[in-house]
Amino acid sequence: MNHYPHPIIAREGWPFIAIALVVTVGIHAWAGFGWAAFPWFIVIFMVQFFRDPPRRIPGEAGAVLSPADGRIVLVEKARDPYLERDALKISVFMNVFNAHSNRSPVDGVVEKTWYFPGKFFNADLDKASMENERAVIYLRTPDGQDVTCVQVAGLIARRILCYAKEGRQLARGERFGFIRFGSRVDVYLPLTATPRVTVGDKVYATETVLAALP
């Protein structure tokens, strides 16, 4: 299992859950359950949104793991605008019912990071990759493979959290960020990578293998 010091509920969600819970308990005590029913629903939604369960890490050599829970919306050859190369692009769309903790797809050193302010189009749309707010990490694996991982804000998401710093060593499956509330993660891989998923597949962060590197 991947060790994570804040299991079950992501630390990013603690303030939101605490505020919602305090407000809801106050409404319930003052006005009764009838008035508090919807606030209790909000509390339950917050808990499920910020869940962050431990995940089993596949041991397969060369495996590129999904950096997020969600649905595959793109698997195609595309231009990697950050490393200026042709690449295999795989995109994972997260809706508000997916866990939003982001994890490293490969073992590697963070060579460079970028942050781009932008718009908030629906993350399911292709143009979101280049026009929405996004944070980018460029990883180099121990055998010299280049992998670009891009956190993309969505229609509702208004906060990208990326903790990866240049020079940091990330292990595959290691948590590096979080996006609030609905978003997308793009992964750019060498053209020699073999995809293991197709459009429409449901994937899980760390546990699903997106592709295999030679």
183 is annotated as an active-site residue: yes
E strand or H helix that includes residue 99: none
Which residues lie across from 134 on neighbouring strands? 116, 152
**18 contact partners, CB below 8 Å, separation of at least 6:** none
- Torsions phi, psi for 101 (to 5 deg): -75, 135
Q: CA-CA distances (angstroms) from residue 132 to 46, 56, 128?
A: 24, 31, 5
Contact 104, 136 (CB under 8 A): no
The catalytic residue among 101, 104, 129, 183 is: 183
**Catalytic residue list:** 183
